[in-house]
Amino acid sequence: MNKSLIVLFLAVLLFTVTGCGKTSSAPSSAEDLLEKAEQAMNELDSVHADIAYDESSVTSDPAKRTSKNVQVQADIEQNPLKVSEEVVWKIPKQGAKTIQLFRQGNQLAMQETLEEEKSEWQEMTEEQRTELLGVWVPFVSPVMDLSLLKPFIHDAEIAKIDYGYAVEFSLSPADYRQMMEVISVNSPQPENFVHTHSGFPVVEKLDVELTVNEETMFVTGMKMSANVTSYFGRDYIRYKQKLDAKYSYFNDIDAISTPKDAEMFE
């Protein structure tokens, strides 16, 4: 065999081996994809998050209708830990309220903006932040907490999309009750939250989609859409919820600056 044929043979062999390597690294199941994504996110240095959450509810007794919209723009650096979150609350007939949250290490503070006037920075606790953001948003800001999805992903299907994978699944009434218990950790009164959100649930829709980049295994997005009615005897509470979280600028955000007027971080 001459040298040119040997070189050609080795090139084909190398191409075949590397091609097989890429195929074998593809996720074998939704659980496998989630594990790979969790490992990648744990090694992430920085990321930007863009989050929108809409919720409306109707109760039968007393007859009441409420709604709110929460939007979050968040940046996080892991080493050292710095987190900047701009939270915009919109409630009908109450206008919009903007709150800036900043975390540095174990310290957390907030600054509220009302009619373009900014308040002084005030220290806050993790519990106060959670109460401000609600039960859903802390799972996706500033990064996706995949523990939210782990108990429910066993029957999920993987679809190939541009630049990665999508995992989609729907929740049964039993799954819904379990998820309410999971997210109740972010409620000031977990037992009461589980009671008012469970009852006898009729799940018209509860769909979840997680998207992951094929090369980096970073989570690029998470969507949740729910339409659930919980019955308590003759009474009911009807919830409609939408959560859309997008992640970008992986390890490529602008450096986060500590607010100069926040004395607690000096």
- DSSP E strand boundaries for the chain: 46-60, 63-77, 82-91, 95-104, 107-114, 117-118, 122-123, 157-161, 164-170, 200-213, 219-232, 235-248
3-class DSSP state of 181: helix
**Based on the number of CB atoms within 10 Å of its own CB, is 222 exposed (0-12), middle (13-18) or buried (19 or more)?**
buried
Q: What distance, in Å, lies between the first and last C-alpha atoms of the chain?
A: 73
In b/e form, how buried is each residue of 194-220, taking b as 16+ CB within 10 angstroms?
bebbbbebebeebebbbbbbeebbbbb
Query: What total number of domains does the chain contain?
Result: 1
At residue 155, the pLDDT reads: 81
Residue 218 lies in a domain: yes
Residue 21 lies in a domain: no
User: What separation in angstroms does the CA of 189 have from each of 186, 193, 195?
Assistant: 9, 6, 10
Model's pTM, two decimal places?
0.87
Residue 238 lies in a domain: yes
Residue 2 lies in a domain: no
**Based on the number of CB atoms within 10 Å of its own CB, is 9 exposed (0-12), middle (13-18) or buried (19 or more)?**
exposed
- Sign of the C-alpha dihedral computed for residues 11, 13, 16 and 21 taken in this order: negative
At residue 10, the pLDDT reads: 41
ω into residue 80 within 30 of 0, thus cis?
Answer: yes
The Cβ of residue 49 has, within 10 Å, a number of other Cβ atoms equal to 22
Per-residue pLDDT tens, the chain, 266 aa: give them.
544 444 334 443 443 333 333 333 789 999 999 999 999 999 999 999 999 999 999 999 999 999 999 999 999 999 999 999 999 999 888 878 999 999 999 999 999 988 778 899 999 999 999 989 999 999 999 999 999 999 999 889 899 999 999 999 999 988 988 999 999 989 888 888 887 787 888 999 999 999 999 999 999 999 999 999 999 889 999 999 999 999 999 999 999 999 999 988 87
C-alpha span between 191 and 185 (Å, rounded): 9
Residue 16 lies in a domain: no
Whether the Cβ atoms of residue 179 and residue 171 lie closer than 8 Å to each other: yes
The Cβ of residue 115 has, within 10 Å, a number of other Cβ atoms equal to 5
Whether the Cβ atoms of residue 208 and residue 169 lie closer than 8 Å to each other: yes
Q: Are strands 107-114 and 122-123 parallel, antiparallel or unpaired?
A: antiparallel
Residue 224 lies in a domain: yes
Residue 6 lies in a domain: no
Residue 57 lies in a domain: yes
At residue 11, the pLDDT reads: 41
The Cβ of residue 162 has, within 10 Å, a number of other Cβ atoms equal to 7
* Structural domain harbouring 124: 28-265
Q: What is the CATH number of the domain that holds 135?
A: 2.50.20.20
118 forms beta bridges with 113
List of residues 6+ apart from 3 with CB closer than 8 A: none
